[in-house]
Amino acid sequence: MTTILGMPLRAGKTYSRFNVGAYMKTQKQQRESLAATNKSIQDKNRLLKAARQKLKRVDLKISQINAEASVRHEGLQNPNANSKGGEQFLSNLSINRRRKLPTSQLLAPRTKKRRIKETFQAALEINGSTESNPQPAIIGLVETLCSKFPKDAVASAVCDQKLHAEHITSTVHGTSCTEYENSDENVLRSVAVYYGVGVMGKRKYIKVRQSLSFKNVFSRWKKMTRIKVATCSIPTLVPYYKLANFLDGINIGTLLPVESLCEESGENVNGYYRDLKEFLPRLAEFYLKVYKEEDFNWFGNHFTFKVAIRGDGAPIGKNDQSCAWLLSFLNIGKRFLSSEDNFLIFGANCSESCKTVEKYVSKLVNDISYLERNVFKVNGKNVKFEFSEIPNDMNMLCFLGGELCNSSKYFSTFSTCLTMI
């Protein structure tokens, strides 16, 4: 019998077309059989995978039990051994789980709270503290952060906690700022501001101090408040009354009253002057401490100070006058003309030609003669002094030369004598 796709054909019957229906029916049966076979294989693979995972967990648990048993065995031999298994605080399973989900800012609140509690409890146990006295645990955690992690990592982690970072910064800076404001360095800083490019004066110093570290506020309780940068106050200069007390306590040498020079003349002169024999070695010691040896121009003779001394008077008001003598070193270069490197050795309310100034000039001549003849031991070095310049005006030169000054109407005769010489 003739068949098509397994279907028998009746004898004597002839088909003019292909039997599509029978073909599709056969294909459907084959697909359904193949799908059933695949489903059975997938189920068996799923069961096999689950069995392998279970076997892996059982093997891991067995190895953990064996490790704990060996640790207990060692603990029996050594009572000081850690019952948790050496330095490992958690089990291997917990460690593997937590490595898949490490602690971060995006961690779930419940998980974060649980880990914080576990970390705190572990710190209490490790550092020997209790919940009523957690200070040892805090110290242990901080020491661990500082010793086991880089500084940048610790700083970055702390800065992420904004409230704590601001509190820590303000606390540390507040203590350091208070210590700095009470330190000698701040006092010297205030002195440098007060005497920078001339004496500032009380009112201006107070105003500069306020403008540097304070700002105005509109409040009924106070007019000014401290300037802060990131919750940290700017260090202030020393208050003026403290600065004045500090300046009054500085030993600047002996100041002699000018009245002692005018006792016989009967002149009413007020002022002070310095003993040049005491002041000049003291000034040389100051320069040798502040500046290096290379900063001086010795003019060929090391540790020989070239001294410039000058005096001048000026009328003040209607009937009052003032006279001053200044001293500086030529070795310091152009600074010998600066007000910061000119030192007052005589100051009084008198004219430059009065008897008191004549006596002071006579004393200066003797002091200059004494200073140029002797060698002084300053900072372990042999120091000499030479008076090289007397850069006074023509009136003072006429006075020192013993001539009257008529240069207001005629040419000075003293200058003519100098020209002829």
pLDDT at 86: 47
Cβ neighbours around 347 below 10 Å, total: 18
Cβ neighbours around 60 below 10 Å, total: 14
User: In the structure encoding, which two tokens stand for residue 172, read together?
Assistant: 């540390």
pLDDT at 47: 92
- Alpha-carbon dihedral angle through residues 74, 78, 82, 87, given to the nearest 10 degrees: -70
% pLDDT > 90, the chain: 13
| Res 418 pLDDT > 70 | no
Mean local confidence (pLDDT), 49-73: 80
Chain centroid, CA 371 distance in Å: 46
User: In the structure encoding, which two tokens stand for residue 158, read together?
Assistant: 């702390």
Mean local confidence (pLDDT), 139-146: 83
pLDDT at 385: 94
Cα distances from 411 to residues 311, 392, 407, in angstroms, run 21, 17, 5
Cβ neighbours around 221 below 10 Å, total: 5
**What are the sequence ranges of the domains in the chain?**
31-76, 174-248, 255-390, 391-421
Mean local confidence (pLDDT), 309-334: 80
- Top mean pLDDT of 176-180, 311-315, 384-388 is at 384-388
pLDDT band at 80; cut points 50, 70, 90: very low
Mean local confidence (pLDDT), 165-178: 76
| Antiparallel, parallel or unpaired: β 224-226 and 228-229 | unpaired
Reported as a single tens digit per residue, the pLDDT across 336-373 is: 777 778 888 998 888 877 888 888 888 999 999 999 99
pLDDT at 232: 78
Mean local confidence (pLDDT), 231-257: 86
pLDDT at 79: 43
Q: What is the pTM of this model?
A: 0.53
pLDDT at 366: 92
- Top mean pLDDT of 32-41, 213-222, 230-239 is at 32-41
pLDDT at 193: 87
